[in-house]
Amino acid sequence: MTDAGDQETSDYDIQSIQAKWQAYWEAEGTFVTRDDDPRPRKYVLDMFPYPSGDLHMGHAEAFAFGDIVARYWRQRGCNVLHPIGWDSFGLPAENAAIQRGANPVTWTYDNIAQQRESFRRYGVSFDWSRVLHTSDPEYYKWNQWLFLRLFERGLAYRKESWVNWDPVDQTVLANEQVLADGTSERTGALVVKKKLTQWYFRVTEYADRLLDDLNQLEGAWPSRVLQMQRNWIGRSIGADVDFVIEGRDEPVTVFTTRPDTLYGATFMVVAPDSDLAAELVAGSSDEVRMAFEAYLERTGRLTEIERQDAERPKTGVPLGRWAINPLSGERLPIWAADYVLADYGHGAVMAVPAHDQRDLDFAREFDLPVRVVVDTTAPVTGAVPVIVTDPATGEPMQPVDLAEIDPAVTGKALAGDGRLINSGPIDGLSKQHAITRVIELLEERGTGRAAKNYRLRDWLISRQRFWGTPIPIIHGADGELVPVPEDQLPIVLPPTDGLDLKPKGQSPLGAATDWVEVPDPRDGSPARRDPDTMDTFVDSSWYFLRFLSATDDTRAFDPAAAERWAPVDQYVGGVEHAILHLLYARFITKVLFDMGLVSFTEPFSALLNQGMVLGTDGKKLSKRSGEGATFAGQLEEHGADALRLALAFAGPPEDNIHWDDVRPAAAARFLGRAFRLAADVSSPPEAVWQDGDLALRRATHRFLAEGAQLAESLKFNVLVARLMELSNAIRRTVESQGPADPAVREAVEVLTIGLSLFAPHTAEEMWERLGHAPSVATAGWRRPDPALLVEDTVTAIVQVNGKVRDRLEVPAKIADAELEALARASENVQRAIGESQIVKVIVRAPSLVNIATKG
RNA sequence: GCCGGUGUGGCGGAAUGGCAGACGCGACCGACUCAAACUCGGUUGCCCGAAAGGGCGUGUGGGUUCGACCCCCACCACCGGCACCA
């Protein structure tokens, strides 16, 4: 790879330069962060990698971005914390181990060693003294500690429920791990529903805060991610309404976002797979019961995708029971239908077919009555009923003939706003006012209340697999859940010898007899450990705090260190975690806040979601699509600096990029030119810049000012372009003024400092060539001289009717009148005006004159 | 269906109310070379023109403005999220 380079530019051999400076940084501890450093602190973090083989191009991009930010703030004189660790528990290790009959421990730590070496060769400025692996007992001990804290606060609990089951990995999944098409995020297998007792974290208790606090992140997180989180939490505001059921003591509560349409309810629907349906039908005739059983059986056979297909015709069976409308007293038949979900709201709805499309589809299918209670053609004018008059005649308007838009006929539900009709005490009100009024009426009667509902479900955290954090709970013989006493933590995984790790629907830990059978902490009687392990997203929900005191074996993290460093100033990672990891980390942070352990409620103050690196086929670069673009291969062929620079230059960091558009060879060419500039500089380090070429000095200082802004707004691609412009300007000056011009030295030094964010090895070598002591990483971003940021002369543009007709070199301090006179005098301008009349002249000295003409 | 985002040369992109296309890739021409590669220099939105210069041009149609890639309205296309969520 280096044959051409060897003979021609023996000076710039990137591989030996890399090795030299990597060894230097390591020996000097250049990037080790000290807590007692008094400078302003910045915490820059990339989402830690999962050790599944070597690093790939996605890592190369993401970690380049994180490193640019870290290196920028270091140049700005900050004490930067930029740690690294591994998210090293999880199924790929376990599955790989099963396939090869190997040990997940060996597989995992071998991969970590390889990735670690790759990071080192990539020249990422990590503080290696704080490395953590979530699969180390020293780490997962604190996972268990965290679980116990949630358990004692009632935020970790067990319940039986319908859960998502991955038939390939043979374990349950969190809602967040099931993709929109009903397949497993991990294995791609079609997820099936199973009724199981599992461990949950009570995320829903934090739903409001998780939603409302997103407002704090506006502008600092990508709007796409904020939107996705809001969608996922899915708050609906409305009312709970209690319906008395004939022949049942307890009323049935339903949630609705449209309490205003209560008078339009003509039947009630319950989810067929709910306990409520089973109970209600138990009180019905044999005939009804048999029809229901058959229906329930049929529903159970549907896949999740089939069931969620909104186009599918509505199905259902009557339950032979009746509900009483709490306001109108009307008797409503109760049906079971699978378009109502057991686990949202109360698993039952009041059906208002005139104003809800799903209810209407169902009503039309089964010939149930449709009653319009909102005249959506009526103007909405206010709170009190008013008689609307015809503006033409002044006569009171007759109620609109609704036949034309009758949902029973058109099949289209009337979802819009309007004026209430057929609704007794709320007739005439607008939708909004009717909602308020109905809730008041229900509350007065004690048969309903304002309510909220969420799409978000509690986080299912138990997994029936081996390679994860054991859940620190002991099941007493009496069925009690006994927390493991803290002094017995960590509960360390048993050795894999003799354990069958194959997925079989139950945790392999249950078969480790010596491990699972323990005395009950209460009285020493025989008891069993919980055999499940935790979702690895628990591990990653707080790891950013562990870095702050990574070796402290007395606590999960040091609150004083958290106070100093956290929250993370800049977080960098893929959009695939827009919901999963980020939601969980936000949740755990709020729990820690409630525990008084941290003083902030959001873990990541700013977030950069880097795009993906795609192959020509538009798919994520993988070993399969290949195209020769492996991380290791590119590192070998072009070197770390060219790869980093090319990735940063390929486009805005948040956009996906195609590997074809990443040009490491072009980046290497640019680095070679920059390096030669440093070699060309022939003035001494103490040269007086003020004596140098003014135009170049201006360009240099403009770069200092603009480059800083670009770095802070994460516009790395533009920042690289500015470095190239500066480099071009320097070359021109070398040609015209010679390499001894002090302005050339100044500019090359600034270029080197700028390059140190992207191409740290080349920059170090240039810095040394320039006669400076290492390291350029801490040389400092120079302050632009304000005097050099203002120009003496500027190019004014002269427009006629908005079209540019001339350009004038004018003094920057030119007066409006003078500029206008010059503009009018221009030959091109006169020609453009011709015979037309000048109607208006806009002058914005010194940059613009616009002459508007007529005729 | 609901919500959000994006549309600029052959390509990646820059410009957030004031010179559209910075910077780079690619292409073409030239220098170096026996030759090629590398490297270096030049040209490069489209159309008319020898040139000067002119016309057109930021998805489409309209609007606001002296002036619009940028702001407003409508539409089209693509991408993403959610979706039988009551």
pLDDT digits (tens, 9 = 90+) for A91-108: 888 888 888 878 899 999
C-alpha distances in angstroms, A141 versus A134, A198, A367, A737, A810?
10, 21, 61, 65, 71
- Does residue A10 register a pLDDT over 60? no
Closest residue (Cα, C1') to B5: A224
Spacing of A751 CA from B31 C1' in Å? 29
* Over residues A666-688, mean pLDDT: 93
Q: Whole-angstrom Cα distance, residue A798 to residue A844?
A: 10
Write down the residue that tokens 């960590």 correspond to: A490
Amino acid A802: pLDDT: 85
Q: Whole-angstrom Cα distance, residue A746 to residue A688?
A: 9
Phi-psi region of A98 (alpha: psi -120 to 50; beta: other; left: phi over 0): alpha
Poorest-pLDDT segment among A268-277, A334-343, A826-835: A826-835
- Does residue A8 register a pLDDT over 80? no
Spacing of A189 CA from B59 C1' in Å? 39
Contact by Cβ (8 Å): A634, A591 = no
* Over residues A49-70, mean pLDDT: 94
Nucleotide of closest approach to A309 (CA, C1'): B84
Closest residue (Cα, C1') to B15: A718
Three-state SS string over A73-92 comes to HHHCCCEEECCCEECCCCHH
Instruction: Check the CA dihedral A496-A498-A504-A509 and report its sign.
Output: negative
State which H helix or E strand residue A43 sits in. strand A41-46
Amino acid A825: pLDDT: 87
- Mean pLDDT for all residues in chain A: 90
* Over residues A771-791, mean pLDDT: 94
C-alpha distances in angstroms, A812 versus A496, A792, A794?
77, 5, 6
Q: How confident is the model at residue A619 (pLDDT cuts 50, 70, 90)?
A: low
Nucleotide of closest approach to A658 (CA, C1'): B12
Q: Whole-angstrom Cα distance, residue A749 to residue A678?
A: 8
Spacing of A698 CA from B76 C1' in Å? 46
State which H helix or E strand residue A625 sits in. none
Spacing of A4 CA from B36 C1' in Å? 14
Closest residue (Cα, C1') to B2: A231
- CA atoms within 13 A of residue A608's CA, in its CB half-sphere: 30
According to DSSP, residue A330 is labeled: -
Amino acid A33: pLDDT: 95
- Does residue A197 register a pLDDT over 80? yes
A105: Cβ–Cβ under 8 A, 6 or more apart, which residues? A135, A496
User: Could you tell me which of A352, A338, A317, A315 has the C-alpha nearest to residue A241?
Assistant: A352
Amino acid A401: pLDDT: 57
- Does residue A627 register a pLDDT over 60? no
Contact by Cβ (8 Å): A567, A603 = yes
Spacing of A830 CA from B54 C1' in Å? 15
Poorest-pLDDT segment among A8-17, A340-349, A407-416, A608-617: A8-17
Amino acid A392: pLDDT: 58
Between A192 and A54, name the one with better pLDDT: A54
Alpha helices in A629-756 (DSSP H): 631-649, 664-680, 694-712, 716-737, 742-755
Spacing of A619 CA from B7 C1' in Å? 21
Amino acid A479: pLDDT: 92
Q: Of A49-53, A338-342, A594-598, give the range with the top mean pLDDT.
A: A594-598
Q: Whole-angstrom Cα distance, residue A353 to residue A371?
A: 7
* Over residues A263-287, mean pLDDT: 94
C-alpha distances in angstroms, A88 versus A45, A178, A508?
17, 22, 19
Q: How confident is the model at residue A757 (pLDDT cuts 50, 70, 90)?
A: very high
Q: What are phi and psi of A713, to 5 degrees?
A: -95, 15
Nucleotide of closest approach to A728 (CA, C1'): B23
Coil, strand or helix: which one is A748?
Answer: helix
Q: Whole-angstrom Cα distance, residue A73 to residue A742?
A: 27
Amino acid A445: pLDDT: 95
Spacing of A719 CA from B23 C1' in Å? 9
Nucleotide of closest approach to A669 (CA, C1'): B39
Q: Whole-angstrom Cα distance, residue A201 to residue A584?
A: 10
Closest residue (Cα, C1') to B68: A802
Nucleotide of closest approach to A340 (CA, C1'): B84
Coil, strand or helix: which one is A29?
Answer: coil
Amino acid A12: pLDDT: 80
- Does residue A181 register a pLDDT over 60? yes
Coil, strand or helix: which one is A572?
Answer: strand
C-alpha distances in angstroms, A145 versus A151, A463, A593?
10, 18, 16
Instruction: For strand B, give the nucleotides within 7 A of a protein CB.
Output: 3-5, 11-15, 18-20, 22-26, 37-41, 53-55, 66-68, 80-86
Q: ω before A775 within 30° of 0 (cis)?
A: yes
Coil, strand or helix: which one is A223?
Answer: helix
* Over residues A9-34, mean pLDDT: 88
Neighbour count for residue A353 (Cβ, 10 Å): 26
C-alpha distances in angstroms, A280 versus A242, A251, A274?
16, 12, 10
β-strand partners of A141: none
Q: Which amino acid is at A115?
A: Q
Between A3 and A758, name the one with better pLDDT: A758
- As a whole-number percent, the residues of chain A with pLDDT over 90 amount to 67
Between A517 and A807, name the one with better pLDDT: A517
Tell me the two tokens of residue A317: 């069976």
Q: Whole-angstrom Cα distance, residue A578 to residue A339?
A: 29
Q: Where are the beta strands (DSSP E) in A511-563?
A: 517-519, 526-529, 533-534
Closest residue (Cα, C1') to B24: A721
Amino acid A524: pLDDT: 93
Amino acid A92: pLDDT: 84
Coil, strand or helix: which one is A66?
Answer: helix
Q: How confident is the model at residue A11 (pLDDT cuts 50, 70, 90)?
A: low
Three-state SS string over A355-419 comes to CCHHHHHHHHHHCCCCCCCEECCCCCCCCCCCCCECCCCCCECCCCCHHHHCHHHHCCCCCCCCE
Nucleotide of closest approach to A357 (CA, C1'): B84
* A803-811 and A331-336 beta bridge pairing: unpaired
Amino acid A400: pLDDT: 52
Q: Whole-angstrom Cα distance, residue A462 to residue A530?
A: 10
Nucleotide of closest approach to A269 (CA, C1'): B86
* Over residues A716-734, mean pLDDT: 95
Amino acid A384: pLDDT: 45
Spacing of A638 CA from B7 C1' in Å? 34
β-strand partners of A41: A79
Tell me the two tokens of residue A260: 């205003």
Q: How far apart are the first and last CA of chain A?
A: 68
Spacing of A765 CA from B40 C1' in Å? 24
- As a whole-number percent, the residues of chain A with pLDDT over 70 amount to 94
Three-state SS string over A271-320 comes to CCCCHHHHHHHHCCCHHHHHHHHHHHHHHHHCCHHHHHCCCCCCCCEEEE
Contact by Cβ (8 Å): A494, A514 = yes
Q: What are phi and psi of A257, to 5 degrees?
A: -90, -5
Alpha helices in A542-630 (DSSP H): 543-546, 559-565, 580-594
Nucleotide of closest approach to A311 (CA, C1'): B84
Nucleotide of closest approach to A315 (CA, C1'): B84
Nucleotide of closest approach to A4 (CA, C1'): B38
pLDDT digits (tens, 9 = 90+) for A431-470: 888 999 999 999 999 999 999 999 999 999 999 989 999 9
* Over residues A690-707, mean pLDDT: 94
Spacing of A657 CA from B85 C1' in Å? 35
According to DSSP, residue A778 is labeled: G
Tell me the two tokens of residue A15: 């591989």
Amino acid A497: pLDDT: 81
Amino acid A6: pLDDT: 36
- CA atoms within 13 A of residue A174's CA, in its CB half-sphere: 24
Coil, strand or helix: which one is A321?
Answer: strand
Spacing of A657 CA from B10 C1' in Å? 18
- Does residue A5 register a pLDDT over 60? no
Spacing of A828 CA from B52 C1' in Å? 11
pLDDT digits (tens, 9 = 90+) for A786-835: 999 988 888 888 988 888 888 888 888 888 889 999 888 888 888 888 88
Amino acid A383: pLDDT: 45
Closest residue (Cα, C1') to B1: A310
Spacing of A185 CA from B64 C1' in Å? 49
